[in-house]
């Protein structure tokens, strides 16, 4: 996905190197296939304008050879860096979410659902848990944003000077 979004121009070719078109001209097909909104594909909206819950479903149906790679492939989409530790398996996705939490105050990282109980409490086990969250946008009330912090006691949300543990 990074290769699709990062370059200023992307041109697609078929197996015999005949041009199929540019990202802008194929925007509708790409958007339908990937779930990435057309305004982000064309650059009329910045990637950062999409909430965490809106970006995660873009990887919900992606498959990788190694479990870790699903998280590593998303680092650029969320502008976070973390060391690649091959052998950690699906724990890489938990680490990715923790890095996103450090870099973003989007509460939409908690908007996911799964048919199985997550051993990680508030964090999803995979991007597929966000499959139905693509329409979620954060509510930004005028004035203060409510920061949150994950601690050994759970999730804390600071509101008007009070610490709310969830």
What does the pLDDT look like over 147-159, one tens digit per residue? 666 666 666 665 5
Position 17 scores a pLDDT of 96
Query: Is pLDDT of 21 > 90?
Result: yes
Q: In percent, how much of the chain has pLDDT > 70? A: 79
CA dihedral 153, 155, 161, 162 (to 10 degrees): -60
Q: How confident is the model at residue 166 (pLDDT cuts 50, 70, 90)?
A: very low
In the three-class reduction of DSSP (H, G, I as helix; E, B as strand; rest coil), residue 109 is classed as helix
95 or 143, higher pLDDT = 95
Residue 116's contacts (CB-CB under 8 Å, 6 or more residues apart) are: 125
Least confident stretch, 28-32, 76-80, 109-113, 115-119: 115-119
Cβ distance 127 to 60 under 8 Å? yes
Kindly state the greatest CA–CA separation across the chain.
62
> What is the DSSP code string of 26-74?
THHHHHHHH---HHHHTTSS-GGGS-HHHHGGGGTT---SSHHHHHHTT
């Amino acid at each position: 996905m990074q290769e699709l979004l990062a370059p200023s121009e992307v041109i697609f070719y078929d197996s015999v190197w005949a041009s199929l078109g540019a990202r802008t001209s194929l925007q509708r097909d790409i958007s339908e296939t990937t779930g990435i909104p057309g305004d982000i594909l064309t650059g009329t909206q910045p990637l950062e304008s999409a909430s965490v819950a809106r970006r995660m479903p873009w990887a919900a149906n992606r498959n990788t050879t190694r479990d870790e790679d699903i998280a590593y492939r998303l680092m650029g989409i969320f502008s976070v860096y973390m060391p690649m530790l091959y052998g950690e398996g699906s724990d890489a996705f938990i680490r990715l979410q923790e890095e996103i939490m450090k870099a973003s105050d989007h509460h939409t990282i908690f908007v996911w659902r799964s048919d199985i109980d997550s051993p990680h409490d508030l964090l999803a086990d995979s991007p597929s848990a966000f499959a139905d969250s693509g329409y979620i946008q954060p509510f930004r009330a005028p004035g203060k944003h409510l920061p949150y912090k994950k601690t050994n006691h759970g999730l804390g949300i600071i509101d008007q000077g009070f610490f709310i543990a969830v």
